[in-house]
Structure 1
Amino acid sequence: MAAKAVELEAGGRVVRVSSPDKMYFPELGLTKLDVIRYYLAVGDGLLAALRERPTTMERWPGGVREGMRLVTRMGDGGDAFYQKRVPKGAPDWVQTATIRFPSGRTADEVCPTELATIAWMGNLGTLRFHPWPVRMADTELVDELRIDLDPQPGTDFADAARAALEFREVLADAGLEGMPKTSGGRGVHVFVPVQGCGFIEARHAVIALGRELARRLPDRVTTHWWKEERGERIFVDFNQMARDRTIAAAYSIRPVPQARVSAPLTWAELESASPDDFTVVTMQERYAEFGDVWAPLYEQGPGRIDTALAWFARDAEAGEGEMPYPPEYPKMPGEPPRVQPSKKVAEHWDADGNRVEG
């Protein structure tokens, strides 16, 4: 028989936890209640990462077991799913914000403003929190660049960490400052506070910064969108900066048996870190000792992306301009053809990148 619901205090509110003994990570013996207690243990840091940001919930209501499947569309019959719209029946103290998708459609999405909201999201089975790089006051104004250094086959976390350390120098040359975290997998993320800008400008800034990193480490880093061109290098996934594409927040839990988490790091820690060092269990111990090591990131003033945009303009004049958008996007201005190079036949495409039938 399932245990009765329990109530937890979270930031001055009482949050009900249903099925608290449901096993979420069997190999570690971690229950749903353990997961929510983890969120409370790192609460200040997790709330700092999510505060006032529209946040997509990656929900695993049945826990994590071998063979479970995450689906991207509701009704596809998977075990876990993304929830972008605020669920019906949400408490009246759960704040929301309206976000706009690339299609032009809109949705009201949960916007955490207090710890109780995070605990409530946890009760829905949320393991990874995917915040937009905007705030609820203006959901068209990007205030944070997110750089995803993604290892390709033949590379690993250590390669991504070395690339990130060089990327820190690129940021400095652009007048910017950020901090790294593990992805919870093999990758490294770097977050950079910036003065408000549009989504296209933010994406162009990341493209330019990524290209500069690739110039400095041509054998180890690439910005090539097509997998057949990447080789055994770290890919700077610039499209994670496109509208409605997000990166998991710091302290999010990766749905793997080890319950690894996305761990905020200092630059001094990065080179010797390993993703396996940071789990739901060990992060609570680390947080109790050091607190949120990203606190300085939130306290620093936002940088300007002017230099990065100047680099993008310079590259465009040299023939390296816009890059392909994610496949679900409508055709974007200046975008090259969305066809992998090995399949592109020149006479089938016009100068604007539109397919010509014939």
Structure 2
Amino acid sequence: MAGAGAVELDVAGRKVRLSHPDKTYYPERGFTKMDVAQYYLAVAEGVLRGLRDRPTTMQRFPDGVEGEFFYQKRAPKGMPDWLPTARIAFPSGRFADEMCPTEPAAVLWAANLGCLTFHPWPVRRGDTEHPDELRIDLDPQPGTDFADAVKVAFVLRELLAEHGLRGWPKTSGGRGLHVYVPIQPRWTFTEVRRAAITVARALERRMPDLVTSAWWKEERGEKVFVDYNQMARDRTIASAYSLRARPRATVSTPLHWDELSDAAPEDFDLRTVPPRFAELGDLHADMAEHAFGLESVLELADRQAADEGLGDLPYPPDHPKMPGEPSRVQPSRARKR
């Protein structure tokens, strides 16, 4: 029995308990926990494609988007035995076992815990040291917007093609864009992050008035930041079809390239994405058919280093100091010393 104040959902033949289905999660639009569950049922194939076999952090909102939230990295106690885990290493050297969804019921089980947004690692549980996705995060800074990110994305598409790569775009669910490139799992986090830095610098060179790779916010200006540190270990991006904690219940939504120019982030939400998914399916489904090499991009990185002296860029503050990394002191503070 599901118990008082609970229902049981049939998810691909597995029963999943949903407690307090009438609890409001998105007050502005009145969306409830059941609405969230029904949403994830409708897009289960798509969201699972982005999560399958990946160590996944849950961003949980037990009291809805207007309440407190937390990121749950370690698999919670009482997790069903049919939901596998993988051991991942944090930059600190410590380890944790994270859930690795392998079936739609895992998504609904997490949603019952108040997980609205899924943050999968760019690795699979069979090999947690070698990313199989290069994720490029186009993050508009104050003074820029989604339309600016779209302009950058089209130049990024050309740049990737020059290196034999193909990208799959999606909205972030906010003001930005994500472009994913499936890669062969041959390179370390350090090497894939270096590829992201190289792409950021190449974009910056082509669009100096609109793109920045500057880590420090005070140096970015009104530009689109290419967040290369999203490829650092233990940095993750909201998965495709993840709900976001925004009043309108927007969704990080895969798009066709030819949709970008006319798209707006608020067009894709809990209500609009399911019928879109029913009509178009998962626009990122064919990513699984590809696995590109990074040799050309890493060769460009070597040329940038040899010809221009361009080396590493700062890591996030929770990472240990890395060999060859420049100072992590904020430039304005360094000048005062």
* Partners of 2:238 and 2:4 in 1: CA distance: 31
Output the amino acid matched with 2:54. Answer: R
Which residue does 1:140 correspond to in 2?
A: 129
Inter-partner Cα distance in structure 2 for 1:345 and 1:227: 16
Q: Secondary structure at the match of 1:260?
A: coil
Q: Secondary structure at the match of 1:64?
A: coil
| 1:263 aligns with one of 232, 253, 259 | 253
User: For residue 313 of structure 2, what is the aligned residue in structure 1?
Assistant: 323
- What's the % identity of the aligned pairs? 60
Answering whether residue 192 of structure 2 is matched by residue 184 of structure 1, we say: no
Superimposed CA distance per residue, residues 135-154 of structure 1 (whole angstroms, 9 cap, x where no aligned partner): 00010011001110000111
Equivalent residue for 1:170, pick from 150, 159, 163: 159
From 140, 144, 166, give the equivalent of 1:155: 144
Q: State the shift of 1:345 in Å.
A: 4.8
TM-score (norm 1): 0.91
* Deviations 1:184-238, CA, capped at 9 Å, x for gaps: 0000000110011110000000100111111111111010111121111100000
Q: Tell me, in whole angstroms, the C-alpha distance in 2 between the residues paired with 1:322 and 1:309.
A: 13
Counterpart of 2:266, as a letter, is: D
Q: Which residue of 1 aligns with 2:333?
A: 343
Q: Secondary structure, in 3 states, of the residue corresponding to 1:185?
A: coil
Counterpart CA distance in 1 for 2:134 and 2:114 is 28
1:3 Cα offset (Å): 6.4
Give, in whole Å, the separation in 1 of the partners of 2:301 and 2:28.
47
Alpha-carbon distance in structure 1 between the residues aligned to 2:34 and 2:151: 37
Which one of 193, 198, 203 corresponds to residue 203 of structure 1? 193
Aligned-partner Cα distance in 2 for 1:267–1:233: 22
2:39 matched to 1:50?
no
1:112-127 mapped onto 2 (5 Å cutoff): 112-127=101-116
Structure 1: give runs of 5+ residues left out of the alignment: 69-78, 349-358
Q: Deviations over 1:262-297 (max 9, x none)?
A: 011111111110001000000011111111111122
Name the amino acid aligned to 2:148.
Answer: D
Q: Tell me, which stretches of 5 or more residues in structure 2 are unaligned?
A: none
Task: Output the CA distance in 1 between the equivalents of 2:163 and 2:218.
Answer: 30
DSSP-derived class of the 1:17 partner: strand
Structure 1 SS opposite 2:197: helix
Q: Contact 1:86 / 1:108 at 8 angstroms: preserved in 2? A: yes
- Normalising to structure 2: TM-score of the pair? 0.97
Tell me how far apart the structure 2 counterparts of residues 18 and 44 of structure 1 sit (CA, whole Å).
Answer: 23
Write the letter of the residue equivalent to 1:51.
Answer: R
- Measured on the aligned residues, the alpha-carbon RMSD in Å equals 1.3
The 5 Å alignment of 1:170-319 reads: 170-196=159-185, 197-299=187-289, 301-317=290-306, 318-319=308-309
- Distance, in Å, in 2 between the alignment partners of 1:12 and 1:174 is 44
- Correspondent of 2:93 among 87, 97, 104: 104
1 CA distance for matches of 2:79 and 2:37?
17
State the aligned residue count: 333
Deviations along 1:291-336, one digit per CA (max 9) or x if unpaired, are: 111112222x211001111111111222111000001111001000
Q: 1:342 Cα shift?
A: 2.6
Q: Distance in 2 between the 1:63 and 1:119 partners?
A: 16
Distance 1:168 1:260 in 2: 25
Deviations 1:338-358 (A, max 9, x none): 112233259x7xxxxxxxxxx
Using the alignment, how far apart are the partners of 2:175 and 2:63 within structure 1? Answer: 25
SS in 2 for 1:140: coil
* Partner in structure 2 of residue 19 of structure 1: 20
- What is the one-letter code of the residue matched to 1:111? C
